[in-house]
Chain A
């Protein structure tokens, strides 16, 4: 009754082609000799060399990396706390508001979030720059982390926590020594998710960033508006390569850990 039919196979093949062909084409044309992104003129790495000589892109990359690292780390801490509070802390005053604030950023359009944060920074007289972008990224990333952690915690056997308490371990120590190690894979994927979201964000960064703090997506966007050039393909290919490397290593580490247990 639940056989994997030809229709299923066709759906998967078509679906995955749809997902991957654009990326593959992007990578291929980053090595194009000519300036056109649609006519193949020969293999060349000249766009990559141009890329490495482009100071503004390099600056943007550094800004983006800094923002991504700092914001994902703090977002992971806040988001993990939030995820545990939502699943384990039962009813408390303001819980509805709290859970509303956790789930909302995932659905509210980015332009609204970006605009509201910018106006807030102006109202609080905080100068826009790396700090404000980082604060903005922490705010929406932590919600994604919270959802990931909450999902993990919902299948977490609470009697393990109770057993630790029962044996004399204080609540805080129980969290650090028992709960956290067990949910660590979820926390790490939360960190990776925040990192990607930060790396990728264009709209919110455009609103909340300031002079001297142009992020890579902002830079790429302004380049795209000026016209399509293979330099963008080159940047994209590098990013795609890094991400693929990251995901594959994560999967391999995961497999290694599982095999170590047996």
Chain B
């Protein structure tokens, strides 16, 4: 039995490992390590200083530093109904938005997949094009439309469909519209990719066996496009929970979303430890969906 005779040091520092190391180390330092820092600071206390939090290690006369950590921030959050409501309301908004996006997105994706082949490329490009333009700008565009004196009300009033302007701006409805609008491409693309690869002969086999088109759609197409549906839903739901810009620009006082809370704690109150604790809890809430999403992605690789 022969074994590879290279030295251990050669085996560690070979070309392949160096290539892996380059992005790996970058991400360790600038992606993973930051989460640990957030965790650490969530255990600190707010003090009036720069930076505005107490240090983790206290160096005094003893050799080993004392660790200053407190669960004050977490207690504060969990005892204050404001934060709990914010988390729950964020989840609710995200779930509802995801469902709406799913229905609209699936219809569009399905229609593109069934369109004549030469059109599909153009249609997909048209779906992606708004995504290339600024997210901020597109949300801003909706302000002009949804305002009380906005274009939507103008249109509805002038055509006589309603006689009082609708209040959409600064309500949850505006937030839903904003989220659906911004995240639609993220739902359409994975679903489209999935439907496009589906074997058409499966539907043909079903109709050959006497299945009506609508039923075939429900019992064959939908279940088989489930991977795309799940991918799209996760791509919309998870970031939507922590969404900031849309609730800030389109939402009102009744819209309590955790992304906005975090922003305010950090920028308005300068309470970095509290903001960190909010972030940690948010991440903890999302960790299961995130891990599930990762597993789905890994499966597509094998």
Instruction: Give the interface centre of B24, B127, B132, B238 by most chain A CB atoms within 10 Å.
Output: B132
Known contacts A19-B130, A107-B238, A236-B137; is A38 also within 8 Å of B293 by CB? Answer: no
Interface set, chain B 16-72, CB cutoff 8 A to A: 16-17, 19-20, 22-24, 26-28, 30-35, 37-38, 41, 51
A12's partner among B26, B112, B213, B301 (CB-CB below 8 A) is B112
Q: Contacts of A251 on B, CB cut-off 8 Å?
A: 125
Is B249 touching A22 in the complex (CB atoms < 8 A)? no
Chain B binder among A53-61, A87-95, A179-187: A87-95
B269 at the interface (CB under 8 A from A): no
Complex: how many Å from CA A249 to CA B104? 30
B203 at the interface (CB under 8 A from A): yes
B279's partner among A116, A120, A239 (CB-CB below 8 A) is A116
**Closest chain A residue to B249, Cβ basis:** A224
Chain A nearest Cβ from B275, distance in angstroms: 6
Complex: how many Å from CA A19 to CA B124? 13
Q: Contacts of B111 on A, CB cut-off 8 Å?
A: 4, 7-9, 11-12, 15
B134 at the interface (CB under 8 A from A): yes
B115 at the interface (CB under 8 A from A): yes
Chain A nearest Cβ from B131, distance in angstroms: 8
Known contacts A119-B37, A172-B15; is A106 also within 8 Å of B141 by CB? Answer: no
Chain B nearest Cβ from A202, distance in angstroms: 5
Chain B nearest Cβ from A204, distance in angstroms: 11
A156 at the interface (CB under 8 A from B): no
Q: Contacts of A123 on B, CB cut-off 8 Å?
A: 37
Known contacts A9-B111, A23-B130; is A116 also within 8 Å of B38 by CB? Answer: yes
A154 at the interface (CB under 8 A from B): yes
Chain A binder among B81-89, B222-230, B259-267: B259-267
Q: Contacts of B107 on A, CB cut-off 8 Å?
A: 11, 15
Interface set, chain A 3-49, CB cutoff 8 A to B: 3-5, 7-9, 11-12, 15-16, 18-23, 25-26, 29, 36-38
Contact with B along A88-132 (1 / 0, CB 8 A): 010010101111111111111111110111011011000000000
Interface set, chain B 127-169, CB cutoff 8 A to A: 127, 129-138, 140-145, 147, 149-151, 154
Complex: how many Å from CA A97 to CA B24? 9
The secondary-structure label for the interface of chain B is helix
B27's partner among A12, A37, A101 (CB-CB below 8 A) is A101
B259's partner among A18, A94, A109 (CB-CB below 8 A) is A109
A2 at the interface (CB under 8 A from B): yes
Instruction: Give the interface centre of A29, A106, A251 by most chain B CB atoms within 10 Å.
Output: A106
Is B141 touching A112 in the complex (CB atoms < 8 A)? no
B interface size (C-beta, 8 A)? 91
Q: Contacts of A26 on B, CB cut-off 8 Å?
A: 137, 140-141, 144
Is A86 touching B301 in the complex (CB atoms < 8 A)? yes
Q: Contacts of A98 on B, CB cut-off 8 Å?
A: 20, 23-24, 27
CB-defined A-B contacts under 8 Å, sample of 17: A2-B114, A5-B114, A16-B126, A18-B181, A23-B138, A86-B301, A92-B20, A108-B238, A111-B263, A119-B276, A171-B15, A172-B15, A196-B132, A236-B137, A239-B133, A246-B132, A247-B132
A residues within 8 Å of B by Cβ?
1-5, 7-9, 11-12, 15-16, 18-23, 25-26, 29, 36-38, 78-79, 81-82, 85-87, 89, 92, 94, 96-113, 115-117, 119-120, 122-123, 135-136, 138-139, 142, 146, 150, 154, 171-172, 196, 199-200, 202-203, 206-207, 217, 220-221, 224, 228, 232, 235-236, 239-240, 243-244, 246-247, 251
A23-B141, A119-B37 given; 4 more Cβ-contact pairs under 8 Å: A15-B108, A81-B23, A99-B297, A202-B245
